[in-house]
Amino acid sequence: MLVVTNTIKVKPGHGKELSQRFTQNKGVQDMPGFIRLEVWHEAKDDADHEELKVCTVWENEEAFKGWTSSESFRQSHRGGSSEYIMGASLNKYELLVGHPAAE
């Protein structure tokens, strides 16, 4: 399993507003190997920015690459720039250990 995080630095006061872009299906949910998408928000008092952490979970690296090379990916990222975005970084993590919830 693969988790890909896109950490987006946002001007203070605009993180939740920007997160609304991820509420609609823009094709990622229909991709083979896609498991889920989560958007996490952090806003610290007196910080110079907020963070959105967009996490997608995939069956494997090939599934993620299928998404990034798809027409749906290109369409969903068109016009995606925002005056509120201060920067972003992408990271990929492979799951090595996991524990399901107890029943």
What confidence tier does 17 reach under pLDDT thresholds 50, 70, 90? very high
- CATH code where residue 59 lies: 3.30.70.100
Domain count, the chain: 1
Is residue 80's pLDDT more than 70? no
Rounded to two decimals, the pTM is: 0.88
Residue 103 lies in a domain: no
User: Average of pLDDT values for 32-48?
Assistant: 94
Percentage of the residues of the chain whose pLDDT score is greater than 90: 80
What pLDDT does 67 receive?
Answer: 96
Domain of 33 in residue numbering reads as 2-94
In order of 37, 72, 75, 76, 91, the CA distances from 25 in angstroms are 10, 10, 12, 9, 22
